[in-house]
Amino acid sequence: MFGNLTLEAFQHDFVQTMAVMGGVVNGVLLIALITYLKKWKWLWNEWITTVDHKKIGIMYIVVVLIMFLKGFADAMLMRIQQATAAGATHPFLGSEHFQEIFSAHGATMIFFVAMGFMFGIMNLIIPLQIGARDVAFPFLNAVSFWLFTAGGMLILISLAVGHFSVSGWLSYPPLSGVEYSPNEGVDYWAWSIQISGIGSTFSGINFLVTILKMRCPGMTLMKMPIFVWSSLCAMVLVIFAFPILTATVGMLMLDRYLGMHFFTAGGGGNPMLYFNLIWAWGHPEVYILILPAFGIFSEVVPTFSEKRLFGYASMVWAMIVIAVLSFLVWLHHFFTMGASPNVNAFFGIMTMLVAIPTGVKIFNWLFTKYRGKVHFTSPMLWFFSFVLNFSVAGMTGILLAAPPVDFQVHNSLFLVAHFHGMVIGGVLFGFFAGFTYWFPKYTGFFIDERLNRMAFFCWFAGLLLAFMPLYMLGFMGATRRLDHYDPSTGWQPLFIIAALGGVIIFFGALIQFLGLFWSIYKRKENRDTTGGNPWNGRTLEWATHSPPPIYNFAFIPTVNQLDPLWADNPPKEEKREYQDIHLPEDTPVAFYIGTLCMILGFAFTWQIHWLGILCFAGILGLIIAHLSEKEKHMTITAEEVRKIEESYTKRQQTA
Amino acid sequence: MKESTKPIYNKLVISGIILIIILLMQPLEVYIFLKDIVILFPKGFIGLEQRNLLILIQALMLLFIVPIYILTFVFSWWYRADNDKSEYDPHLVDHKIAEFVWWGLPFVMTVLVCIITYFKTHELDPYKPIVSDKKTMEIEAVALQWRWLFIYPEEQIATINYIQFPKDTPIRFKITADAPMNAFWIPRLGGMIYAMPGMTTQLNLIADETGEFRGSSANISGTGFADMTFVAKASTQEEYDEWVASVKQSDQSLDIPVYREIAKPSEDTSVQLYQLKEDDLFHEIVMKFMKPESKI
């Protein structure tokens, strides 16, 4: 009846039990609060059933915040463990629990924080920047979001029921095979990656089509805002890379469930195949994350330098080159596998070539500031620390790309410091910059600048303090993922410094959270009274109101050049009549599909086959039913549009 | 533009100071932890070459990073919005020569590093035998759950979590695993290579000095992974010969049934010394996954 699920699955050690209890209490409080405020109907009608890209974007960011809490708690536990575990016979966490935590940390942060944050920002901004009313496939967009959420929830469930994977965030076989990991951990990992990965593929297709087909009249490819270009490159990568992930994890699942031998050590299987396949997805994945961050900085720097982006065409080509190269470098993740020197040298050289377009981008940003008027707003501060951290991490990346050097620092904490410098210093800081920069656009009020700056300085100092010692630890021969180590190695002082850095980052994140809630609480005082363009932005999203009305633009704009809002000779505005606007109708089907996928993942993880098959049939039925229906639209009449537009004008006048 | 910024230059100065302190901390760290920084102070030829390449590439990269750092601070500072003295030229958004320079310079530099990498990759290929007037010694390493088994095929001995070899003698490690994947790493002597079940990888190392070096597994392989460390002792030839003679007298011997016992998952990491009673043990371990009728 319940497959492998027994009462034992609910028993955990002290730390985990506390975490589970905390989660349950918070969940109950949240439900009670919603019930008390009688907000269930509002939640259902306005959010859960929505297909509006702006609301989906905000929901992405809410889920990301929750997953970030989990991932960050994991990170802090790891830092505490490693700072205290010199020669410990009874360390703070047992080795299995520790391994669960670093596996969950990696999977959570990459798949459910970085990816979610990226799709969140893209949902919020891309249709506005290209002057569209919604994405190309609004229903598919909602399905993507709910699949993403379903995957994230599976990871959260694994905290309370059973155990998560202990084989690292990419679950290398044969360790992740059924022979060495017989219990449910790897299945949790695999199902959450599969479900959210399929969602990501859908999103990739959706945004690619949106960008290619839904641009407003006059916006040719080379007149697109640079963030749209960066997203276009990233989405091409998503479409090529994510199917590889789905297929690879699919084969791993076949190995585990049906006893096949794709990646097993014996029976004709080959674990090296998995390495090649997973990194053929994994390396493009890193660029999928960093390209939109580059795009965000390319929007932020010109705006706060009061100068257009230096070398737009060269920036675009640099991104295209990076996107192409990203598929030619995967082997640098395992130089140590013993390939011939020619193979290793080829992939090392390809990796180093990535430095060229990246260097060009950094110079172009710096020369955007040159002869500009630089404003030190918090998005600009994030850019500032991005350049400093990213150049160091890039430099260590070149070191890692040289195979002989890589032999010495591979799988050491040097590597850990390198990719955290990239992912925090590059990706996360980029998304923070974008989050702050566009916050007044999609909410209509500002985020508290003073608190945001405090958070920035905590993150900046904390990042340096937490990861600089790791470079040194790598040089001292410290491998990653150690739950304890011998005191004679002399590593402990540096681990303690790194833990202190972690604490400072914790305060940074705390201040950010508080700043967010404080800004929401003080939203009346912080209101954007400039009619939607507080920073004197130059792209189309600043041409509409803040927050944008449901139809984004009352009139679809026309552009005749790059940076239309800074145009020297803007096209004349004609007095136009409001017209009826057709928008897709809200539907709960996407939510149902997501929920069923989550239950399906849970059921198969615990081998409750009847439930899994039932869910699968349900999903299939829902899809068929939804696709057989005639597409429904809701119409906003010209009269309603006029009323909405006037209400914005009135609101601005009273402010 | 909404001028919501109070001057924050003092804070930027503070972060600059933090940055400088952290950068200054690095030489200090090197000084304090001198004896523990195994990769920067290797004791073997291979490690030394790898270290030198690391420093060379690092130095070349600094030629770029330092100007970027300086430009970041100078441009942000000099072109700040409230500096009346700085020029403002909103139309300077394209400059062919400038862009040619920063496509060209990184290109030249990267090509230079690529050429170095190409030749060094061939020179430091872990499979390439080390040229020496002494005969190359062979040690076979097997990653188990969760300890290392070392087989000396010529000397007919085997050890667990301990190896000894003479200095200045090239050593060829043949590596496999009877466990999930591991990586064989003696940081003082040189880089790592993966240990994979059903496959053999090779690593050539040499020790220039005597001493006891820490070896470990560098790839997560399950519960006991953190304790998968071993001691690699480089001694003089005489000491080594004595040690081999003493191991040959060991009362423990290693054959297939004993191997089956030690291959079981265990967190016992104590050093064991065996006489080798099975000639083809390493080959049998590799072939375990390949043919069903393997002895193991």
| Tokens matching residue A426 | 């590059």
- pLDDT given at position B10: 67
Shortest Cα distance, chain B CAs vs residue A432, angstroms? 18
The answer to whether A361 contacts chain B (CB < 8 Å) is no
**Is B19's CB within 8 Å of A384's CB?**
no
Least confident of A132-141, A280-289, B25-34, B230-239: B25-34
Residues, chain B: 296
Shortest Cα distance, chain A CAs vs residue B20, angstroms? 11
Domain B137-287 classification at class level: mainly beta
Q: Report DSSP state, residue B273.
A: E
**Is A362's CB within 8 Å of B68's CB?**
yes
Shortest Cα distance, chain A CAs vs residue B208, angstroms? 17
Report yes or no: A330 and A282 within 8 Å, Cβ to Cβ: yes
Q: How far apart are CA A330 and CA A248, in angstroms?
A: 15
**Is A398's CB within 8 Å of B61's CB?**
yes
CA torsion, ordered A203, A206, A209, A214, to nearest 10 deg: -120
Paired residues of B148 in beta bridges: B143
Instruction: For residue B131, count other CB atoms closer than 10 A to its CB.
Output: 9
The pairing of beta strand B190-195 with beta strand B182-186: antiparallel
A524 compared with A112, residue with greater pLDDT: A112
| Tokens matching residue A423 | 């992912």
**Is B88's CB within 8 Å of A306's CB?**
yes
- pLDDT given at position A334: 94
| Tokens matching residue B223 | 């519960």
Q: How far apart are CA A319 and CA A296, in angstroms?
A: 13
The answer to whether A3 contacts chain B (CB < 8 Å) is no
> What is this model's ipTM?
0.93
Q: With bands split at pLDDT 50, 70 and 90, how would you rate the model's confidence at A64? A: very high
Paired residues of B139 in beta bridges: B173
Q: How far apart are CA B251 and CA B274, in angstroms?
A: 7
Q: Give the residue from A423, A490, A359, A395 showing the smallest Cα distance to B54.
A: A395
Shortest Cα distance, chain B CAs vs residue A175, angstroms? 5
Name the H helices within chain B: 9-32, 45-78, 96-123, 237-248, 256-262, 281-287
Mean pLDDT of A462-480: 92
Report yes or no: A263 and A269 within 8 Å, Cβ to Cβ: yes
Q: How far apart are CA A91 and CA A82, in angstroms?
A: 9
Paired residues of B163 in beta bridges: B232
Shortest Cα distance, chain A CAs vs residue B140, angstroms? 16
Shortest Cα distance, chain B CAs vs residue A510, angstroms? 20
Q: In chain A, which residue's Cα lies nearest the Cα of B199? A: A265
- pLDDT given at position A6: 82
Which residues of chain A does B290 touch, with a Cβ-Cβ cutoff of 8 Å? 266
Q: How far apart are CA A438 and CA A302, in angstroms?
A: 14
Query: Residue B115: CB partners within 8 Å, gap ≥ 6?
Result: none
pLDDT in tens, A441-455: 999 999 998 899 899
**Residue-by-residue DSSP string for A249-291:** HHHHHHHHHH---SS-SSTT--HHHHHHHHHHHHHHHHHHHHH
pLDDT in tens, A126-171: 999 999 999 999 999 999 999 999 999 999 999 989 899 999 999 9
Can you give the residue ranges of every domain in chain B?
9-81+94-123, 137-287
Instruction: For residue B183, count other CB atoms closer than 10 A to its CB.
Output: 28
The answer to whether A537 contacts chain B (CB < 8 Å) is no
Q: Report DSSP state, residue A336.
A: G
pLDDT in tens, B1-51: 444 445 566 667 777 777 777 777 777 777 777 778 899 999 999 999 999
pLDDT in tens, A538-567: 999 999 998 999 999 999 998 988 888 888
Which residues of chain B does A465 touch, with a Cβ-Cβ cutoff of 8 Å? 22
Report yes or no: A327 and A280 within 8 Å, Cβ to Cβ: yes
Which residues of chain A does B58 touch, with a Cβ-Cβ cutoff of 8 Å? 395, 399
- pLDDT given at position B3: 46
pLDDT in tens, B52-83: 999 999 999 998 888 898 898 889 888 988 88
Q: How far apart are CA A279 and CA A256, in angstroms?
A: 20
- pLDDT given at position A17: 86
pLDDT at B232 over 60: yes
Q: How far apart are CA A453 and CA A136, in angstroms?
A: 37
**Is A412's CB within 8 Å of B218's CB?**
yes
**Which of A387, A399, A484 comes nearest B54 by C-beta?**
A399
Mean pLDDT of A444-470: 91
The answer to whether A483 contacts chain B (CB < 8 Å) is yes
Mean pLDDT of A619-630: 93
Q: How far apart are CA A174 and CA A255, in angstroms?
A: 10
| Tokens matching residue B116 | 């170095």
| Tokens matching residue A483 | 């739950």
| Tokens matching residue B85 | 């003295």
**Is A475's CB within 8 Å of B197's CB?**
no
**Is B76's CB within 8 Å of A376's CB?**
yes
Which residues of chain A does B225 touch, with a Cβ-Cβ cutoff of 8 Å? 95, 99, 481-482
Identify the three-state secondary structure at position B215. strand
Q: How far apart are CA A98 and CA A167, in angstroms?
A: 11
**Which of A306, A381, A407 comes nearest B90 by C-beta?**
A306
Q: CA B19, A423, A251 angle in degrees (round to 5)?
A: 155
The pairing of beta strand B182-186 with beta strand A633-636: unpaired
**Is B218's CB within 8 Å of A406's CB?**
no
- pLDDT given at position B1: 44
| Tokens matching residue B190 | 């040189």
